[in-house]
Structure 1
Amino acid sequence: MKARALALSALSLTISIPLATAYSGDMTFYTPAYSPQGSSCDMAAAPGEPIVAISHLMMNNGANPNANPLCGTTISIYNPYNQQTVPNVKIVDTCMGCDEESIDVNVELFEALGFDQAVGRVQGMDWGGSAVGGKKEKKKKRGLEPLGVGAVVEKRVPGHPHGRRGEEA
């Protein structure tokens, strides 16, 4: 009986842990090689497939970057300027020029999130996923919640406070 109660309490503990961690940083874009040799994960992606390179500070590639456990996992990216979420964005590369919580996405995804290439850099993009590391205290201070997995696409609300998308401070 004690073993069953212990197993049930362990199960409830596992269920109460959030499955995703949210980060907030800059988002830039790049044109990937779309071949395994073009990424630090040695993974090919189809043209137009939503892919992301995350910061070298998170990837921590080690001796064999192809063996990185983050390679091939997915994140969701949320655009607070138009309230659009894109789920299932595959991690295929390392962004050497990114700050810790910044990301680099392919051009098609940058545009799908509502940005013109002329913008170049967008500040304050939220993202997260079950494979990406902790930082619960930092997330809590920012009031960030784990990102959802379903795509939510809405039109921009006129007069919304984030109307000046992509402007740098």
Structure 2
Amino acid sequence: MYFSNTFILLITLLFTMLTLNVVTALPLHRRASYSGDGTFYTVGLGSCGKTNSDSEMVAALSSSLMSGGKNCGKSLKVTSDSGSVTVKAVDTCPSCAEGDVDFSPAAFKKLGSLDEGRISINWSFT
């Protein structure tokens, strides 16, 4: 079978365009999973510049994850032995390790009892 150089060039160009389109359509944020401790705090004006309340499903992340506000407003899916919750990152927790999350009281109650104070969690960005 004989194909002209123009036909081969067009097929190559089309394949390249399709490949580039697929690559650029992939999500850019990482889908890493984290584990650490979950705690809770009194919510107020957060490092993302907005005021939230204790009744909202919000949380604070470690300084390394919130550096420069790069994760402000991102959603996290969090699980513990007692439940799960989806929260929005709105603040920085300076004393938290990278896998730790500091929750609003309402969000923490979805994962455990406030009496526990500190629980083991697993989470990822959604």
The TM-score normalised by the length of structure 1 is 0.59
Q: Distance in 1 between matches of 2:101 and 2:108?
A: 11
Structure 2 CA distance for partners of 1:16 and 1:111, relative to 1, 3 Å? closer
Query: What is the percent sequence identity of the aligned residues?
Result: 28
Q: Distance in 1 between matches of 2:67 and 2:29?
A: 23
The number of residue pairs the alignment matches comes to 115
Gaps in structure 2 of 5+ consecutive residues: 1-10
Q: Distance in 2 between matches of 1:16 and 1:53?
A: 23
Shift of 1:72: 1.5
The residue aligned with 1:4 is 14
| 1:106 matched to 2:117 | no
Q: Distance in 2 between matches of 1:25 and 1:19?
A: 18
Could you list the per-position Cα deviations for residues 74-125 of structure 1 after superposition, in whole angstroms to 9, with x for gaps in the alignment? 111122x13x3323x1111000110111110001111122x111111112x1
Structure number with bigger Rg: 2
Shift of 1:19: 6.2
The residue aligned with 1:54 is 61
Amino acid in the other structure paired with 1:42: G
The residue aligned with 1:128 is 124
Q: Distance in 2 between matches of 1:104 and 1:47?
A: 12
- SS of the residue corresponding to residue 56 of structure 2 reads coil
| 1:118 matched to 2:115 | yes
Structure 2 CA distance for partners of 1:24 and 1:43, relative to 1, 3 Å? same
- SS of the residue corresponding to residue 40 of structure 1 reads coil
The residue aligned with 2:84 is 85
Gaps in structure 1 of 5+ consecutive residues: 62-67, 131-169
